[in-house]
Structure 1
Amino acid sequence: MGRDDLYITVPSFFRCPISLDVMKSPVSLCTGVTYDRASIQRWLDDGNNTCPATMQVLHSKDFVPNRTLHRLIQIWSDSVRPRRVDSDTSSNNNNNSSNNNSPPAIDQVVDLIQQMDGHSSSIDSLSKIVRFAKESEENRKFLAKSDGFVQLLVEALGGGNASDGAHGNNNIRILEQIVRIIELVIGEIQDNEVLMRLTLKKSGAGAGDCLASLLLLLQQGSAESRIASTRVLESIAVSAESKLLIAERDGLLPELLKLTSPEKDPSLIEAGLSCLIAVSVPKRVKVKLVQLGAVKSLSKLLSDSNSTTSTIEKVLKLLETVSSVKEGRAKICEADEEDGSGKCCLSAIVQRLLKVSSSATEHAVTILWSVCYLFKERSAQEAVAKANGLTKILLLMQSNCSPCVRQMSADLLKMFRVNSKSAISCYDTKTTHIMPF
């Protein structure tokens, strides 16, 4: 074998100007220069707004696949493959191992979609589509707009019946990939009602099947697939009927509540809270949440010093939601006897006033206004006074709060002025300062 057979000359225009490697998925910028998709995406993600080769300022960061060049590279690759010597096998295997982690090209993804079966798909094919979807927003849009692709995913999700043993574990892994793809393309689906109708349809692979698969992932899936499952559930909770179907599916609400335990990862907690907020609009769902012990769980998160701002905002939003039913108000006012403190959830709410964010403060004041002023729960009024809530409300009146919060605070002060014999009864809610007492 000659020396020339050991070396392959690569046409220069097949190489990416950034990585200098043969392009796997060539795409062209508005400047007309073509790059490998992964390389130029990294360049743009780093905040650059110029063409790397020409340094021209980009009027648009969109790029389009260069299908002609892609086909030429494929033809060239096929022609030089027979010339590769056996001694390169080991090196090629290493390269292939590395390429397995690279996103596939659009043409490959189209083939993978065409080969998909709504009731059985390979983990390898699905994982390739996941990598493709994670690479860029353009890829996610492509998948969302691919004719019948979302329906195929939903059918695959509904058909995933895991069993015990290795086969069951394999099915769970397939479900994890499916729900991850759905989560990635959700943001590019223009009408979530379409996804809701597909997922919760009552014929064939109906609501029970898809919700059962999502429940299985919440119970046995990885942290990433649990988060993806909650986001899928949240995205299809777009109507009163869909919210009820989700909430009344045996086991779903308890599993979502388990995600909000303070011991869980913050990302899991926030995903669980967001989903619960989305499904808890109907009165029946609010009552069921209260019966499952949601108020106690949320109170623990409020009192946890490690809870993030976003978590506190979501906790208070959910408590505001359940405070609109009498069962919720009763639990919010109920003293916690387990820790011997005798404190109720209201104490934790008062402590968070003015300490988190304007959004959290608004939710907190709305809860206090609802239980103390609107529904005149006597035990709630006493708990707020005991937790030094009056001082917090007075401070809130002086702050740069919204007109709505200011009005609710004024209502609360008027109520306490009527019910109290303390110096607060002399306080004029129209003043803009705190009188000493």
Structure 2
Amino acid sequence: MKSPVSLCTGITYDRSSIQQWLESGHNTCPATMQVLPSKDFIPNLTLHRLISLWIQSSTLRPGSNSPKLLPAISEVRAKLLMERIESQSCVDSLSKVFEFVSCCEENRRFFVRFDGFVEVITGILRRKCVEIEALEMTVGILDLISSENGVKERLNKLILKSNQESNFLPAIVFILQNGSLDSRVKSVRVLDSLALDSESKRRISDSQDLICILLQLLQANSSQSLNDAVTSILTTISITRSIKSRLIENGVVEMVSNSISEKSLKLLATLSSCSEGRSAISSNTKCVAGVVDKLLKASNTATEDAVVVLWSVCCLNKEEKVREAVVKGNGVTKILVIMQREGEGTVKMMCRDLVKAVRTVCKDLCLGSYETRTTHIRPC
């Protein structure tokens, strides 16, 4: 751990790890699986001091291979590094900054607060003929600092709210085509973090080259982390029917059907809001089966997305073969369990509609007289 924090359950985690868990849609404590009444966490100062003492003592032991905290960089040193980066995008200087901000949250805050730092780093992505190593290091730094307070807004203003986005997006495309797997994931994550409003999302979606590359990466299915990052950005920018239609026409439903994840459930739920999306999902039996299989196996948020998808294709499109697929995958039992645990709300309403919709194909189940407003599941 580098920055230990405790949840309301009393369990301590590393800050970056638990933030990733909560931001991915989970509302439980990973260790106890208790539903969290609050997602707030507090620093575990005692453990933090113990970790610092351990690191200090381990670095003094002969032959120790324990990780060392980097020494603080003075403002003069930081200014010199930025001047070198600004003048020639020196890979060595970028590497030193990346190593420093990778070390801990305090180091990231130091550079983020440093006057002109964010502007200098983003400027590298707008230059021409920059070596791939420098570009990869740049997106690595941006990925690390983007979670710091106010950075996303500053980056958005610098890149997508200015006249420079036409120079920025080609650099991202170049990394996606020629960079390492890790830098590709980071590039997509940085791009996703910039899409803060409808204007930014539109500017990203207007880049034909970028969308084509993202779809190619998703089709290649080379890495789950990359798939999740690409699926997330595609969900983020799918704010208009034309964008959804473009993705559907390019076979995005078939692509995500190869491996249904929580991120792809969110994208499918978004696409199911239009008739083209519902038709594409309905015609893909593997996709429907994958969605049914994910019921109750994913986080609450992802399970709700799965319910939205099934409700859209079963109740709006009224596809008989989809209803049969739901029954075949033991979807009825899962839907009843979800309906039982949900309070009054949209998800419970959709579950009721789903139970009614599949009655016609549930010949082997005793649902003929089942009352969907009951609060318990009647045994068959």
TM-score, normalised relative to structure 2: 0.75
Distance in 2 between residues matched to 1:117 and 1:189, nearest whole Å = 24
1:333 maps to 282
Conservation of the 8 A alpha-carbon contact between 1:104 and 1:128: no
* Greater Rg over alpha carbons, structure: 1
Whether the 8 Å contact between 1:179 and 1:229 is mirrored in structure 2 is: yes
Please give the per-residue CA displacement for 1:396-434, whole angstroms capped at 9, x wherever unaligned.
Answer: 334x235433222112223334x5584423211133123
1:166 — aligned with what? none
Mapped contact 2:327–2:362 kept (Cα < 8 A): no
- Does residue 151 (structure 1) correspond to residue 119 (structure 2)? The answer is yes
Q: Does 1:428 align with 2:371?
A: yes
In structure 2, the gaps of 5 or more residues are: 1-44, 55-68
Letter of the structure 1 residue corresponding to residue 96 of structure 2: K
Counterparts of 2:362 and 2:251, CA distance in 1: 36
Tell whether the 8 Å contact from 2:145 to 2:151 is kept in structure 1 after alignment: no
How far does residue 239 in structure 1 lie from its aligned partner after superposition? 1.2
> Secondary structure of 1:415's partner?
helix
**Distance in 2 between the 1:374 and 1:388 partners?**
21
Asked if residue 108 in structure 1 is aligned to residue 77 in structure 2, the reply is: yes
Secondary structure of 1:434's counterpart equals coil
The match for 2:263 among 310, 314, 317 is: 314
Residue type at the aligned position of 1:251: D
1:121 aligns with 2:89: yes
Match of 2:355 among 413, 416, 425: 413
Corresponding position of 2:294: 352
Q: Say yes or no: does 1:198 pair with 2:166.
A: no
Alignment partner, residue 140 of structure 2: 180
**What code does the residue aligned with 2:82 have?**
I
Q: What is the distance in 1 between the residues matched to 2:73 and 2:355?
A: 64
In structure 1, distance between residues paired with 2:207 and 2:219: 21
Q: Is the 8 A contact 2:324 2:358 kept in 1?
A: no
C-alpha distance in structure 2 between counterparts of 1:435 and 1:188, whole Å? 51
2:305 aligns to what?
363
Aligned to 1:380: 322
Aligned ranges for residues 36-435 of structure 1 at < 5 Å? 47-49=48-50, 52=53, 105-106=73-74, 107-117=76-86, 120-161=88-129, 171-190=131-150, 192-203=152-163, 206-260=164-218, 263-302=221-260, 312-335=261-284, 343-398=285-340, 400-404=341-345, 405-417=347-359, 419=360, 422=363, 423-431=366-374, 432-435=376-379
Q: Deviations over 1:218-263 (max 9, x none)?
A: 1111122112211110111111121121122122223223444584
Q: 1:236-295 CA deviation, whole Å, 9 max, x = no partner?
A: 111112112112212222322344458423322222222223222333222222122111
- Residues 201 and 410 (structure 1), Cα distance of their counterparts in 2 relative to 1, 3 Å cut: closer
Aligned length: 318
Report the Cα distance in structure 1 between the residues aligned to 2:316 and 2:85, rounded to whole angstroms: 56
1:158–1:213 CA contact under 8 A, matched in 2? yes
* 8 A Cα contact 1:295 1:331, kept in partner: yes
Hey, what's the Cα distance between the residues in 2 that align with 1:178 and 1:379? 49
Q: CA deviation at 1:192?
A: 2.3
Q: What letter corresponds to residue 197 of structure 1 in structure 2?
A: K
| Matches of 1:357 and 1:193, distance apart in 2 | 29
Other structure's SS at 1:359 match: helix
The answer to whether the 8 Å contact 2:161/2:200 transfers is: no
- Verify the 8 A CA contact 2:85 2:94 in the aligned structure 1: no
Q: Percent identity?
A: 37
Inter-partner Cα distance in structure 2 for 1:156 and 1:112: 14
Consecutive unaligned residues of structure 1, counting only runs of 5 or more, are 1-43, 54-100, 163-170, 303-311, 336-342
Give the 3-state SS of the residue equivalent to 1:276 in structure 2.
Answer: helix
Quote the Cα distance in structure 1 between the aligned partners of 2:221 and 2:235: 20
Contact 1:183 1:231 in 2 (8 A): yes
Match of 2:289, SS state, is helix
TM-superposed deviation, 1:177: 1.4
How big is the shift at 1:388?
4.1
Shift of 1:366: 1.2
Contact 1:116 1:152 in 2 (8 A): yes
| 3-state secondary structure, aligned to 1:257 | helix
Provide the rounded CA distance (Å) in 1 between the counterparts of 2:107 and 2:362: 66
Judge conservation of contact 2:84–2:93 (CA < 8 Å) in 1: no
Contact 1:219-1:255 at 8 Å conserved across structures: yes
Distance 2:297 2:80 in 1: 54
Q: TM-score, normalised by structure 1?
A: 0.66
Q: Which amino acid aligns with 1:329?
A: R
What secondary structure does 1:424 align onto?
A: coil
